[in-house]
Amino acid sequence: MGLWPKTNIEFRGAAFPIGGDATIDGLITIPNILREFNNHLIGVSHGMGTRDQLPETQLSVAESGATTDKMPEQMSLSNVVALQRLRKRPGIRGGVGMRVMVEQ
């Protein structure tokens, strides 16, 4: 599901929970709010695309079209994918830090 009906373009860089495109002056997202206090934030999403189309440096692992009937399996898979991506990043201590999980 995309921003416009009958399209499947995902604007992950503009998504409220993880989007990092623009600044807080142009786009209000949780990462842009947090950057007002700490500009060393990692893992925010930029651009358009699905989880598998965007670079692994972006930590948005939401599954397109996911439904709540299989939420436990989806959360388990999302955690595995997120931890794999975190462990590949230099300077990350085994995934220690704050993570935000949001259901839309």
**Domains in the chain: boundaries:** 12-88
The reply to whether the predicted model has a pTM over 0.75 is no
Q: Are 63 and 51 spatial neighbours (Cβ–Cβ below 8 Å)?
A: yes
- The single residue listed with the structure tokens 């931890």 is 83
According to DSSP, residue 32 is labeled H
Q: Containing H/E element for 35?
A: helix 30-35
Give 29-86 pLDDT, tens digit per residue. Answer: 999 999 999 888 877 888 888 777 777 667 777 777 777 787 777 777 777 777 777 7
Amino acid at 41: L
Q: Could you tell me what percentage of the chain is helix, strand and coil, using 3-state DSSP and rounding each to the nearest 5? A: 30, 0, 70
Give the angle 14-9-101 at the CA atoms, nearest 5°. Answer: 50
